[in-house]
A and B are shown apart, each in its own frame.
Chain A
Amino acid sequence: MASTETKTTDTRAEGDQQLASVEAGLDALETGVVSRTSFQQTFVNKILPPIIAIAVVLVVWQALISFKIVDDPSKLPSPADVGGEFKEAWLEGKLLEYIWTSVSRGLLGFLMALAIGTPLGLIVARVKFVRAAIGPILSGLQSLPSVAWVPPAVIWLGLNNSMMYAVILLGAVPSIANGLVSGIDQVPPLFLRAGRTMGATGLKGAWHIVLPAALPGYLGGLKQGWAFSWRSLMAAEIIASSPDLGIGLGALLENGRNASSMAMVFEAIVLILFVGIAIDLLIFSPLERRVLRGRGLLVKG
């Protein structure tokens, strides 16, 4: 009797061992091999193409000047003239000042938009009445060019920094709020059910399930919100340039126009573009990539 019992436990343990090894084999077979791209590959695939594109633009630009296709420097300055403008601003120590004036305004405005847009988006997404009441207006506001807010903002607040921030907020808050709303709308119901069976309801559910699940949509909204902030700010700076406000990039552009210096106008446009791209590349793209990669949502190109 005792011997049969030990025998059954023996075969059981043996079967268990076999099961474990079969399982380990299956796991190994089904887990993909993760490969890391080398720096050389990254360079060839990601860094080289934009460098070539910029070089081509410069060559074509220089060709237009060299072959006298456009020979009016007040219409098209040469790359060297624009470069000289940069050099001069740099030597006077003003280049970083221009950039910083605008970037600090833009980022501070964006942070304020973040602080207002996030709770607003949460309320619109979760409260039915609020959604019916202001949801359509909020998405409609996204298609309103933010330049339209400059005249009323100047009348209400005067030519000062508050007016700039007001224009940024009106441009960026709807984007951020809408991003969060669509992020929350796209949370798979399965996650909510799984959360509920684990006891994540109400605020706990919002914190542990809804918000993290909505993060990719929210980040998309932030990215767009930054683009809107930056555009609104440039519009405000161009229209409302005043010596008291310091010279930002928009004011630089306007000064260039007033001085009929096309080289300065080009300098300003290049800087505006550069800052917009740099903030996206340094802050938003890495953030978005990190979130998407962590969730396996990033398709390797």
Chain B
Amino acid sequence: MATTLAKAESAESVEYAARIEHVSKSFAGPAGQQLVLDDITLDVAPGEFVTLLGASGCGKSTLLNLVAGLDQPSAGSISTDGRPALMFQEHALFPWLTAGKNIELALKLGGVPKNERRGRAEELLELVRLKGSYGKRVHELSGGMRQRVALARALAQDARLLLMDEPFAALDAITRDVLHDELTRIWEETGLSVLFVTHNVREAVRLAQRVVLLSSRPGRVAREWTVGIPQPRRIEDAPVAELSLEITEVLRGEIRRHGQH
């Protein structure tokens, strides 16, 4: 009852999945306060797929942590439509639980009643094409399967925004391509909003409707591209490669500035 009310309310009033306004973040470093993020303003619309792209030290993971609520910004404000789900580069599945029980824990913490959990977990496993893996232990799964269970667990949180922190960076190229296709399919099926962090330009273009490039030290929004290439795309497609080339040039320009002084 309470959740339906909250959802109805948010449907009227919220026209974004995440709103990041003038956010700055600094950490205490050896040379005093170090500015990591500088005045970032960014909206993710409901159902939109945005990739945050940047070289090392651009603070993209820091920004994701702020949006996830794991850390507080030094200045500015962040609001999200409900609590977002977060996926990491490492699968972060709990090794003392089976694949299915990992998903059920997320359901339990999200307040799903006990008798519905098992069925819902099976459904989510089927969505990531791991039907029959309910009772598998984490170490019995391959890298790609673990990330799919992690995705299913994130989806189990029933969040409207999914934050992904380089989730495919540790996978081999073949598996990564397959998971790109899967993620696109699931995103289209569920209507989720996704904020996806990566340092891989082609991956960013392959997946996103909008690519946001961050400059490094401090992280600022350098440029944005809207990607009009229709899905399903492939990472080898000419338009993907073309746009990737253009973005790479800008990215290299950003990086070059750091070598000059």
Q: Residues of A at under 8 Å CB distance from B? A: 12, 15-16, 19-20, 22-24, 26-27, 30-32, 34, 190-191, 193-194, 196-200, 204, 208-209, 212-213, 215, 291, 294-297
Contacts and interface: CB of A to CB of B under 8 A. Distances in A.
B90 interface: yes
A20 B182 CA distance: 9
A176 B148 CA distance: 38
A212 B98 CA distance: 13
A99 to B, nearest CB: 35
Query: Interface of chain A, helix or strand or loop or mixed?
Result: helix
A32 B140 CA distance: 8
A204 B140 CA distance: 27
Contacts of B174: 26
B168 to A, nearest CB: 13
Interface string B108-147: 0110000000000000000001100000011111111100
A213 B96 CA distance: 7
A204 B92 contact: no
Contacts, number: 95
Given A12-B232, A19-B181, A208-B109, A296 B139 contact: yes
A26 B177 CA distance: 12
Contacts of A212: 94, 96-97
Contacts of A291: 96
25 contacts: A15-B181, A19-B178, A19-B182, A23-B178, A26-B174, A27-B130, A30-B143, A31-B140, A31-B142, A32-B140, A34-B140, A190-B90, A191-B92, A193-B70, A197-B69, A197-B70, A198-B109, A198-B157, A199-B110, A208-B105, A213-B96, A295-B95, A295-B96, A295-B137, A296-B140
A195 to B, nearest CB: 8
- 10 smallest CB-CB distances across A and B, nearest first, come from A296-B139, A30-B142, A295-B95, A194-B92, A197-B86, A199-B109, A212-B96, A198-B109, A19-B181, A198-B106
Contacts of B110: 198-199
Given A194-B88, A198-B105, A213-B96, A24 B185 contact: no
Given A12-B232, A30-B145, A191 B185 contact: no
A27 B128 CA distance: 12
Contacts of A34: 140
Contacts of A27: 130, 142, 144-145
